[in-house]
A = this chain, B = another copy of it.
């Protein structure tokens, strides 16, 4: 009989578990070819407009397989509902028996994405972080900042967001824990920070190559389609290290896709995150390098976080 875990319980468990380490293990399994992840299923809706995506897969010789259903219905806020909805399902990999239904409403996707940002910082951020730069003011911007605390004690922040109200809201929510400076533009963030996370759905590059100082690490979280772009392609050219969470996905979406398309970098210069974190020679070598990690989101992250929540829940 499958166990049903609701959002409140999920949040409690997530606060207690090491999601960053779960992501680390997942990316290694993925890059080592130990995951089975078929193409994403998709349902499109017309009235009202919406889409549902079904992602599924497993790590070979593991205990479980996982299915994630995530939808976006963009008129939901008009009736007081979040546009993102969804749940995670966990099954016994040896028998197919359903073991867990996690009614996470998209929460675990947000968390696993933020944890991947912290993982990127662990291997690529410079030793001394003078300030954390955050581009964007949404849920993911806040979570990225919070999860970075697993890596660095730095609480000095430079923040830029297009919408002034959302900037004020961000400061109100996180101002007690962080020393937040509001930037006039993305360039001002780049001038004052050496660990930057971009979290917007922008389709026009926000950070320019000329803005970035030597020794800066950038994690690009926002772009996960062929049209979105937060980093100027020249910026990736300027970087010593360019990392993709998934090499196959970087061929069709995200910052790397755009930079390759623009001729700024070549596909062969890109290294996969799960490969790089296994080999110190592929990680940051000094405090002068500019490094970029492009996160488009990989199904193994969903597998790992679902497993982590479920196994922690049944242990209690």
Interface positions of A (Cβ within 8 A of B): 1-2, 4, 6, 36, 38-39, 41-48, 50, 52, 54, 56-58, 60-61, 65, 67, 69, 71-73, 76, 79, 81, 85-87, 89, 91, 93-98, 101, 103
* Whole-angstrom distance between the Cβ of A26 and the nearest chain B Cβ: 17
Smallest Cβ-Cβ distance to A65: which chain B residue: B43
Q: Which listed residue, B38, B46, B54, B96, touches A56 by the CB 8 Å rule?
A: B54
The one of B1, B56, B81 that contacts A6, using a Cβ cutoff of 8 Å: B1
A73 near B47: Cβ-Cβ < 8 Å: no
A93 — which chain B residues lie within 8 A by C-beta?
45
Q: Give bound CA distance, A2 to B97, whole Å.
A: 20
| A105–B72 CA distance with the chains assembled, in angstroms | 29
- Whether B79 lies near A95 (C-beta < 8 A) is yes
Closest 10 CB pairs of A and B: A71-B96, A85-B96, A73-B96, A41-B41, A73-B95, A4-B4, A87-B98, A85-B97, A101-B101, A76-B95
Smallest distance from the beta carbon of A65 to chain B beta carbons, Å?
6
| Other A-B pairs, 9, CB within 8 Å; known A43-B57, A79-B95, A85-B96 | A1-B103, A38-B43, A45-B93, A52-B56, A69-B89, A71-B91, A81-B97, A85-B97, A87-B89
- Among A76, A81, A95, the one with the most B-chain Cβ atoms within 10 Å of its Cβ is A95
* A72 pairs with B96, CB closer than 8 A: yes
Which residue among A4, A36, A85, A96 has the maximum number of chain B CB atoms within 10 Å of its CB? A96
The answer to whether B96 touches A76 (Cβ under 8 A) is: yes
Q: Closest B residue to A81 by CB, please name it.
A: B95
Q: Which residue of B lies closest to A55 (CB)?
A: B41
Q: A1-B6, A2-B87, A41-B38 are in contact. Are A48 and B101 (CB under 8 A)?
A: no
In whole angstroms, how far apart are the Cα atoms of A101 and B65 in the complex? 18
Residues of B within 8 Å of A48, CB to CB, are 94
Other-chain contact of A101, B4, B36, B52 (Cβ < 8 Å): B4
User: Smallest CB-CB separation from A89: which chain B residue?
Assistant: B69
Please report the C-alpha to C-alpha distance between residue A89 and residue B54 in the assembled complex, in whole angstroms. 12
Report the separation of the CA atoms of residues A214 and B98 in the bound assembly, to the nearest whole angstrom.
48
Cβ contact within 8 Å between A65 and B81: no
- Which residues of the partner chain B approach A45 to less than 8 Å between Cβ atoms? 58, 65, 93
A41, closest chain B residue (CB): B41
- Closest Cβ of chain B to A54, distance in Å, is 6
Interface centre among A43, A50, A56, A71 (most CB of B within 10 A): A43
